[in-house]
Amino acid sequence: MRSLKKFIVFLMAAALLSAGCANQPNQSGGNQAKSSSGKVRIGFSMDTLKEERWQRDRELVEAHAREVGADIITQVANGSDSLQLAQAENMLTQGVNVLIVAPHDGQAAKAIVESAHRQNVPVISYDRLILGTDVDLYLSHQVIKIGEMQAQYALDHLNQLPNAPKPANFVLVQGSPTDNNAKLLHDGQMNILNPAVQRGDIRIVVDQPAREWKAEEALNITENALTQTNNNIQAVVASNDGTAGGAIRAIEEQNLTGKVIVTGQDAELAACQRIAEGKQTMTVYKPIKPLAYSAVDAAMKLAHGERVETHDTVDNGKPIPAILIPPVSVDRSNMADTVIRDGYHKLEEVYANVPREQWPKPQAQSNTNANARNRREEENTELFALICNMTPTI
């Protein structure tokens, strides 16, 4: 029930964020033409469905659009900048009133915004920021904080490794160099790790990007790091669950499973299973529903030329109004209390490869987990109260 309350807080906050009494995005008024059905028509331009989380984004955005009475067109570019631009142009030709864009390349997608604005169509930058342009709204999770959480977790858990040397050897597997979120994640990671390097607590032996967030890239990066250090690696700060999976394959080949800290992000089912099995150490759970619902609610407002309330901004050459959703760190200690309790994954799916006697007991949560859950609820309540009492700051 408490996790249900948490989501209610998120959804209420999302509703407030679209109510229209505080900061106003850079609205172009919206293309007032409706679809033949008389409904608002939303275009959703996606980079990929390769990762599990993007499939959830599509399902939730489309479902909520139908709930609020909008028509929605979704097109997926499969990692191609030219195709994503062509698809966006096609949706504009079909008369969409607003575009939601999850860009493949934050720089290349600038052309989408320029084309949409020439036709008086607002653009929401979804999850990833479209760089160097005057997007109307940016919706994402707190990306820099996610990077900080990954790095801090790795540092905090070094003492759980047997005979960990000082300095401990860290490998950083960044995300795709075309994705601005990969840069923000790395910035957050280095906010935490740089002081540890200066103290002599850790040494960063490899720090490389994984093109297109590919697991194979992470596998190669980690293999090379293990060879370079003669298997003397204590932590792999992998920027998402896909790259974590690639790193873990390299670690398993050297019989180091469970002896190297491996971080991740997205709480994919495969990653949660690896955590339950002791192969991956942590992931970052980013509730998708409040992000997807906020995007649709904001799109409806923008399509009607109405204000969208925000309480954050991001620097994109000028301040861009933003809605940023808090993430949650997840490991074996709170798996049942987060992604499973929230219904993001099922208990039997996460623990499918674990003996049943080792499954968490649904009615026997530890005090630690209960306290952690209470803290998250208090933080969400504080966020809700802050939104309610916000005054315009832009």
Boundary of a domain, candidates 325, 352, 378: 325
Together in a domain, 215 and 356: yes
Nearest by Cα to 323 from 362, 363, 290: 290
Inside any domain, residue 71: yes
> Which ranges of the chain have pLDDT less than 50?
1-28, 363-369, 377, 381, 383-394
Q: What is the pLDDT of residue 388?
A: 43
Same structural domain, 272 and 216: yes
Q: Is residue 393 part of a domain?
A: no
Which residue, among 99, 102, 92, has the nearest Cα to 70 in the 3D structure? Answer: 99
Would 124 be classed as within a structural domain? yes
Q: What does the pLDDT read at residue 9?
A: 45
pLDDT in tens, 312-324: 999 999 999 999 9
DSSP string covering 9-23: HHHHHHHHHTT-SS-
Identify whether 272 is part of a domain.
Answer: yes
Phi, psi values for residue 172, rounded to 5°: -110, 120
- SS3 state of residue 2: helix
Q: Are residues 45 and 126 in the same domain?
A: yes
Does a structural domain hold residue 116? Answer: yes
Decide which of 273, 300, 325 is a domain's last residue: 325
CA–CA separation, 67 and 58 (whole Å): 14
In a domain, 15, yes or no: yes
176 and 69 share a domain?
no
Q: Where a domain ends, among 274, 297, 325?
A: 325
**Same-domain check for residues 183 and 36:** no
Domain of 30 in residue numbering reads as 2-141+288-325
CB-based contact 105:81 (threshold 8 Å): yes
Are 108 and 238 within one domain?
no
User: 143-156 and 180-199 are packed helices; what angle lies between their axes, rounded to 10 degrees?
Assistant: 30
Cβ density class 323-343: b for 16+ within 10 Å, e for less:
bbbbbbbbebebbbbbbbbbe
Give the pLDDT score at 306: 96
Judge contact between 128 and 105, C-beta under 8 A.
no
Q: At what angle do helices 288-303 and 52-67 cross, to 10 degrees?
A: 40
Residue 40 near residue 96, CB atoms below 8 Å: no
Same-domain pairing of 314 and 358 = no
- The pLDDT value given to residue 27: 47
Determine the Cα–Cα distance for residues 140 and 142; give it in Å rounded to an integer: 7
| The pLDDT of residue 10 | 46
Q: Are residues 122 and 157 in the same domain?
A: no
- Claim to verify: residue 186 and residue 302 sit in the same structural domain: no
For residues 133 and 114, is the Cβ–Cβ distance under 8 A?
yes
Neighbours of 42 (CB within 10 A): 29
The answer to whether 310 touches 321, Cβ cutoff 8 Å, is yes
Q: Across all residues in the chain, what is the average pLDDT?
A: 88
Neighbours of 83 (CB within 10 A): 15
Whether residue 320 is found in the same domain as residue 334: no
Both structure tokens of 382: 């504080």
Residues 62 and 103 occupy one common structural domain: yes
* Alpha carbon 288 to its chain's center: 8
Sheet strands (E) in the chain: 41-46, 71-76, 98-102, 123-126, 137-141, 168-174, 202-209, 235-238, 261-262, 283-285, 312-315, 319-325, 328-330
- CATH at 149: 3.40.50.2300
Residue 394 lies inside a defined structural domain of this protein:
no
**What is the pTM assigned to this prediction?**
0.80
pLDDT computed for residue 375 by the predictor: 56
Quote the number of domains for the chain: 2
Whether residue 280 is found in the same domain as residue 300: no
